[in-house]
Homo-oligomer: A and B are copies of this chain.
Amino acid sequence: MQEKVEPGEYYHGKRVLVTGGLGFIGSNLVRRLAGLGASITVIDACFPDQGANLFNLKDVLDELVLVVADIGSVDEISAFIVDQEIIFNLASCVSHIDSLRNPLRDLERNCLSQLRFLNCLTELSPCARIIYTGSRSQYGNPVYVPIDEDHPLRPLDINGVHKTAAEEYHRIFHEQGNIRYTSLRLTNIYGPRHQMHHDGQGFLNWFIRQGLTGQEICVYGGGEQERDFLYVEDVVDALLRVAPDERCEGRVFNVVSGIPITVAQAAAAICDITDNSWRCVAYPPERSAVEPGNIRLDGSRLQVLTGWMPRYGLQAGLRETVDFYRQHGHRYFHGPKGNLVLSDKGME
């Protein structure tokens, strides 16, 4: 068994590539990596409807190389992926509903680009250590609870199919000896630096926006649906811990709090902090189609192997998040116009 290395020491001077690094999880990760002295490259396609926001990295831009390109644009990215040591492959489109409206675009972004990227890596960074982030939506409706990593994958939407296919690409490239992968399956992550101008991803952040802007929080159905909420800094902890750990190679892990909380409880907690109120509304049909029922996930595989544990309870995480958006909400609430989001590959 390898000696335990503190992530802090490990990343100093390491060449680290973060795809999707201007987005929600990516930018929180990049900021931590910058603090640890890593040599960082960020690739982000800056699709207007996704989470990229230049403000997310504004104060650390001097410490990294930023490439505005789709990871599938081999000509544009290949110069920047040579000899990377660690790759956090977070580039992804995550809207379940969009994937049913426009499945071909979801295929292009989540499968075609990933496959081109991995093909390219095989040549330019052979045997790179790569961490992919999958999604709870890959499981679909629970066959049993809590859902562990061996639970069948029967996603309810096309996005879940493509997230699975891309995870499988990583596994097969790994088994062929071309990369060394780990997949972390995430669910209901919330926190600072999430896009806040539409409700297509991250409903807890959307609740926070409603709370902060004085709108009543709208909970679909009766609000009794259980979810597993995790604060983004805890996800960053998991990413940083998994990458140097050889025991994690070739494996898939749920990254979850393990504590089921109802949507109504979460809404009430946000109302407490933002001094607002919430009410129930009927499910729109398109939401109903992708509603997976109660979600209880088993995160013990990662916790037992690596010792990772969430540091933030829901109250603490929500407080941090609300504080952030109280200060910086104007950078996030108004969409691509009015803040520093890149759009159509041009800087504002």
A164 CB contacts on chain B under 8 angstroms = 165, 168
Copies in the complex: 2
**B104–A119 CB distance below 8 A:** yes
**B162–A175 CB distance below 8 A:** no
Count residues of chain A with CB under 8 A from any CB of chain B.
28
Which residue of chain B is the closest to A102 with respect to CB atoms? B119
Question: Which one, A107-115, A241-249, A340-348, is touching chain B?
Answer: A107-115
**B158–A172 CB distance below 8 A:** yes
Q: Please tell me which one of the listed residues B111, B150, B153, B161 contacts residue A172 in the complex, with CB atoms under 8 A apart.
A: B161
How far is A155 from B171 in the complex, measured between Cα atoms in Å?
A: 10
| A103 beta carbon closer than 8 Å to chain B | yes
The interface residues of chain A, by DSSP majority, are classed as: helix
- Give, as a whole number of angstroms, the nearest-CB distance from A345 to chain B: 23
Residues A152 and B155 in contact in the complex (CB < 8 Å), given A115-B107, A169-B161, A289-B176: no
Which residue of chain B is the closest to A157 with respect to CB atoms? B172
Interface residues of A in 107-142 (CB under 8 A from B): 107, 111-112, 115-116, 119
How far is A141 from B56 in the complex, measured between Cα atoms in Å?
A: 44
Interface residues of A in 259-298 (CB under 8 A from B): 289
How far is A120 from B289 in the complex, measured between Cα atoms in Å?
A: 21
Query: Residues 141-154 of chain A: 1 if any B CB is under 8 Å from the residue's CB, otherwise 0?
Result: 00000000010111
Q: Please tell me which one of the listed residues B107, B154, B157, B172 contacts residue A156 in the complex, with CB atoms under 8 A apart.
A: B172
Interface residues of A in 81-110 (CB under 8 A from B): 100, 103-104, 107
- Give, as a whole number of angstroms, the nearest-CB distance from A139 to chain B: 12
**B176–A100 CB distance below 8 A:** yes
**A158–B169 CB distance below 8 A:** yes
Chain A interface residues (CB < 8 Å from chain B): 100, 103-104, 107, 111-112, 115-116, 119, 150, 152-158, 161-162, 164-165, 168-169, 171-172, 175-176, 289
